Structure 1
Amino acid sequence: MEQQKAPLSPDQHRTTTIEQGRFCVARCTCGWRGPARRARSLARSDAAGHAAG
């Protein structure tokens, strides 16, 4: 059975980090994209900052 996702409210952001070669990029469901980082921790910090405000 396929799991259904609840629709996102306009103020709810879901961020992920994606590996691109030696870099890691934070992305959001709203279309936002953070800068490419060599450190995953920095990409996660970018994502957390975006989601917070």
Structure 2
Amino acid sequence: MYDRHTDEVPPLPPAPAPVAHEPTTVERGSFCTARCGCGWYGPARRSRDRARTDAAEHLAAP
């Protein structure tokens, strides 16, 4: 392979924007799970209220 000159190298794509924390709850059968856009997810709960609490705790965590 040959050496490229700097004018031949394509520019880098822009860096992806940071993912905002937007936790939601997802129901699957009789279980409810808190999930977030950043990839975090909580344990499956039978209590929807506890799943919402998990989401709120994730949002408050640094």
Please give the range of the TM-score, normalised by the shorter of the 2 chains: 0.7 to 0.9
* Larger RCO (alpha carbons 8 Å, 6+ apart): 1
Q: Which has the larger radius of gyration?
A: 2
The root-mean-square deviation of aligned C-alpha atoms, in Å, is 1.3
Report the equivalent of 1:34: 42
Q: Which runs of 4+ in 1 moved over 3 A?
A: none
Between the two proteins, the alignment pairs up a number of residues equal to: 45
User: What is the CA–CA distance in structure 2 between the aligned matches of 1:38 and 1:27, rounded to whole Å?
Assistant: 15
More strand as a share of residues: 1
Q: TM-score, normalised by structure 1?
A: 0.78
Structure 2 unmatched ranges of 5 or more: 1-16
